[in-house]
Structure 1
Amino acid sequence: MSTLTSPAGHLDRSFGTDGTTILEGSDVKAIAVLKAPGPHQGKIIGVLADGNDFKLFRLEKNGLLDTSFGTGGYLRWGFAGSPVRSTPTGITELSGDKLLVTGYVQEGSPATLYYPAVARFNAGGSIDLLFGNDGVYVFKEPLPTAQPSSDITPQQTSDGASVYVVDANDDRILFAFNSGTFRPYANQGLLIQLTPAGQLDTRFNEQGYVFFQFDAQNTASIGLAVRQNGNFIVVGTAPNRAFLAAFTPTGQIDSSFGTDGFAVLAQAAGPVTLTQLLLQPDDKPVAVGWFSVASTRKGYVTRTLADGKPDNTFNNALPVTIERPFQSLHLKSARLDAEQAIVVAGELNTRALGLVGRLTPQGLMDRTFGIDGLSDTGIDGILNYTNSMAIQEAGGIVVAGSKNPMAAVCRYHG
C-alpha cells in the first residue's frame, strides 16, 4: 500500500538514526505532516511536553531535526506563565502558514483545575500575537447548573484531559475537550468554537460553546469529525456505553442521526475507552480505542453507517478486537491511509512496547502488514509509549511518543 520497498509494518531504518529520532523533552504529544505547497511540504511538525511548558519542533521528511525552525529546530512556549502547567495534546496545520497547538492548563493546588487552551504560531516557529490574548486562548466559562452526582470511572475515559481540533480553517476553529474526571468540567461533554482571531464564536450555540450529556448521564467527549454537509460527529463515553452524537454547524443536536441524534456503539466484552474518531470519505465514522477484560486490555475498532446505524459491511457490524496473547494492548491513535485502510498505533502496556497495525476497509486484520496485521515488538529501536501518528505521502507511518526517558519519533514502512 505504499511506494516504500521494505515489508509493510517493519521499522524504517532510513528514518532518523536507525529508525528513530530522539528529541529534547519527555514525551511527544502530537505530530502532523505539513500539506501546504512550499519548501516545507511533507515535513513533520510536532509538539512535546517539557516541564511546565511545551516545545514545538519540525523534522525533515527523513526524520532529521529541521534547524531552520524556531531556534535550532525548537520553539519553547506555554499557554500561561509559571507556575501554571501547560500540557499540549494536539497540533494542526492551518491555512496562511499558521500552526495551532491545543491542550490545557492546570491551575491551583491541591484542588487542580483543568482549562482547555489553544495557541497559534507562525509556520517558521514564532507565536502569532494577533490570535487570542498574545497568541493564546484559555476557556474558563461557567458550568451548567445541573450535573449528575457520580463521576465517570477512569476506565471509561482516555488518559488525562485532552483537546482535539476537528475543523480549523479561515472561518472557524472547532474542537472538543475531554476532561474525564478532572474539574471544573468533569462529567460534561464540551465543544468549543473560536473565530479565526481566537475569540468565542457566537454563531455556535449563540455563545461559542456547548455542554452536553448523553441520556442525562456523566459524559466525556473524546473527539470530533466534520461531515461533508458541515455537520459534525462527536464520539464519547457515558457509564458503560460508548456513543456517537451528531450536531449541526451551529451546535444543535442533529436529530436525523441515530436515535434523536445519538447512536450507541457496538459493545465489547468489557468497558470501552475511546481515543480516536476517524471519518471516511463516505461519511462513515470509525471509532478506535480499547476495552478491558479481567484487567487485560484489548484494542477496539468499530464503524457505523453514515446515519449511525450498524454497518454490516464492517466485520459483520461487530467491533474488531486487536490483541496479542498474554499481553495487554491498547490503541492510542489512528489514521486512514490512501487506500482507506485503518492504521492504528498503541502499545503493549504490559511490556511498554509501541506497535502499529493495519485493518482493511472491511474491518479485517491486514495479513500483509507486519505479523498478522501488527508490527513486530521484539526489535530494537521502537518506542516504549505512543501518543500520535501521521502518514506521509509515500506511505510511511510516523509514530510519536517516548523512548524512555526521552521524547521520540519513529517511522514504519506502510
Structure 2
Amino acid sequence: MAAGDLDPSFGTGGKVSIDFGAISIANAVALQSDAKLVLAGRVGDASTGDFGVARLNRNGGLDTTFGTGGKVVLSLSAAEDVARAVAIQSDGKIVVGGFAGSEAAGDVAVVRFNSDGTLDAGFGSGGVAIYDISGPTGDAIRGMVIQPDGKILGVGAAGPNAGLIRLNPDGSLDTTFAGGAGKEAVSLGNAGHVFALSLLSTGTFLVAGFDSTTLTQDDFLLARFNADGSLDTTFGSSGLVRTDFNGLNDLAFAMAVQSDGKIVLGGDTDSTDPVGISGDVKAGWTRYDSAGNLDTAFGTAGETQINPTVLCDGVRGLTLQSDGKIVAGGFIGETTGLASFADPVAGDFAVYRLNSNGAPDTTFGIGGAVRTDFAGLGDGGRAVILQTTNRIVQVGGATTNHLNFAAARYKT
C-alpha cells in the first residue's frame, strides 16, 4: 500500500457507510483508548434532524455493544438538533456538543453518554444540558474539548457573535468562566464566526474561523482567550489575527497546534462570495508562531493552497502526524461549495497532506490530494483523525441510497 491508499481491512474496501434509515451526516469523530471510533452528527433533514452518534470497531464494523446496533438517535426538540463536536472522557464517557432547536433560533446543547450509549443521568438533566446564550438568535457549539480538570469547553455561535461556554463535569455552568456567567457572546472583529478550538497547556485557548474585514470580503480569523474566557490582547493585534490570501474570501474551519507551539489553520480560500460557495475555491492553509505572526517558513509567506479542480475544494478537519506532516480532510469537486456545514451535493471525500514546511506532499495521492468517491453522488468529509500512527480516518457524509454517515481509512 502506498501513502493515501484506502485500507482494504477497514469496512468494505476502506470505506464505511452507516444508514440510520434517514438522511444523515457525521460532523465529528473521536478516538477511544481502544481505537474504536465515535462519530457524531445529524440524523434527519435540515429542519427536523436529531443528534446521531455511531461507534465503529477499529476495523470499521458497527460496534453492537453501543446503543442499538452501534447507533444512537436523540431528539432534543421538535426542530433541528445537530451534533457538531464529540470528545471522550478519561472514564470512557462520551460528550457530544451542538445545538437544539434550529440553526437560527436554537440553544447550545451538550449531551453525555455512558460508554454503552445510554444517557448519563449524572450529567445535566437526564444526560442533557441546554443553555441559551444570545436570546432569540441561534447558539451552537462547533468546537469542544474536555479540559484536564474534566470541565467541558465549547465555542461556536451566539447569534451574530462568537459563543463561548464552559461546563463543570456535572453539566452545570462554570461560574469561574465568562465573568461568572459560564457563557458569553463575544464580538470578534466586524462579524467573527468561530468553528475550531484548541486548548493550550497554559489553560489559554485558541479559536479560529473567519471575519469580514470589509463588507464584501472574509478572511481567516485566529484569536486567543485567557483561561477565564477574556480575550488575550497580547496575541496578534489586540487578541486577533486576520489573514487574506488573494483578495477574495477565505474561511477557516479547522485548526491544529504543533508541539513547538505553531498554529496551523485550514479552510476554503479564494471564494468569490463571502460564504464560500462560488468561484474556483481552493483548499488553503496558514501557519503562525505562538504569538500570532505568520510563519514565513511555511508555504509561500505563511500560506499554502491546493487546487485539484476548478470547482470548490476545501478543508474541514486537521490532524498532525508525528513526523510533522499535516493531514487535512474535506472535499474535492463540489459544484456549489459547502458553506458552513451544508450537506454535500456533488463532490467527493478529500484527504490532503502537506510536508512540515507547508509544501504539498507529492508522495501522497496526486499532488498531495486523495479523492474518494462512494457511489458516484455527493460526498464530503467533515473531520479527520489518526486512528493509529499509520492510518488516517476521515468521516463525513456519503450519498448512496441517501446521504449517510460515512468513514474512510487511508495509509499514511
TM-score tier (shorter): 0.7 to 0.9
User: Which residue, 41, 47, 61 being the options, matches 1:64?
Assistant: 61
1:197 aligned partner: 170
1:213 equivalenced with 2:187 (yes/no): yes
C-alpha change, 1:112 and 1:285, in structure 2 (3 Å) is: closer
2:25 aligned partner: 27
**Which runs of structure 2 are paired with 1:304-383 in the superposition (5 Å)?**
304-348=288-332, 349-350=334-335, 351-377=346-372
Q: Tell me the number of residue pairs that the alignment of Structure 1 and Structure 2 aligns.
A: 378
User: Which residue, 263, 270, 274 being the options, matches 1:292?
Assistant: 270
Q: Which has the bigger relative contact order, CA under 8 A and spacing at least 6? A: 1
The two structures, once aligned, show a CA RMSD in angstroms of 2.4
2:286 maps to a residue whose letter is T
Paired with 1:142 and 1:28, the residues of 2 have a C-alpha distance of 26
Deviation (angstroms), 1:142: 4.2
Q: Conserved in 2, the CA contact under 8 Å of 1:346 and 1:356?
A: yes
C-alpha change, 1:124 and 1:263, in structure 2 (3 Å) is: same
C-alpha change, 1:378 and 1:90, in structure 2 (3 Å) is: closer
Paired with 2:129 and 2:120, the residues of 1 have a C-alpha distance of 12
Deviation (angstroms), 1:89: 0.8
Q: Conserved in 1, the CA contact under 8 Å of 2:142 and 2:194?
A: no
Q: Conserved in 1, the CA contact under 8 Å of 2:124 and 2:170?
A: yes
1:70 maps to a residue whose letter is G
Mind listing any 5+ residue stretches in structure 2 that lack a counterpart? 213-217, 273-278, 336-345
Paired with 1:17 and 1:379, the residues of 2 have a C-alpha distance of 11
Paired with 1:22 and 1:293, the residues of 2 have a C-alpha distance of 30
User: Which residue, 126, 129, 133 being the options, matches 2:125?
Assistant: 133
Q: Conserved in 1, the CA contact under 8 Å of 2:38 and 2:56?
A: yes
Indicate the larger mover: 91-100 or 289-298: 289-298
Deviation (angstroms), 1:113: 0.7
Deviation (angstroms), 1:143: 5.4
Paired with 1:199 and 1:268, the residues of 2 have a C-alpha distance of 44
Q: Conserved in 2, the CA contact under 8 Å of 1:47 and 1:90?
A: yes
TM-score by length of 1: 0.85
1:391 equivalenced with 2:386 (yes/no): yes
User: Which residue, 85, 93, 98 being the options, matches 1:98?
Assistant: 93
Once the two structures are superposed, what CA deviation does each residue of 1:61-93 show, in whole Å capped at 9, x if it has no partner? 111111122222122223x24x23211111111
Paired with 2:176 and 2:375, the residues of 1 have a C-alpha distance of 51
Paired with 1:364 and 1:199, the residues of 2 have a C-alpha distance of 45
1:55 equivalenced with 2:28 (yes/no): no
Deviation (angstroms), 1:166: 2.9
TM-score by length of 2: 0.85
Kindly indicate which of the two structures has a greater share of residues assigned to strand.
2
C-alpha change, 1:123 and 1:382, in structure 2 (3 Å) is: farther
Percent of paired sites with the same residue? 29
Paired with 1:382 and 1:281, the residues of 2 have a C-alpha distance of 39
Deviation (angstroms), 1:376: 4.2
1:402 aligned partner: 397
1:15 aligned partner: 10
Residue 106 of structure 2 aligns to a residue whose secondary structure is: strand
Indicate the larger mover: 133-142 or 357-366: 133-142
2:260 aligned partner: 282
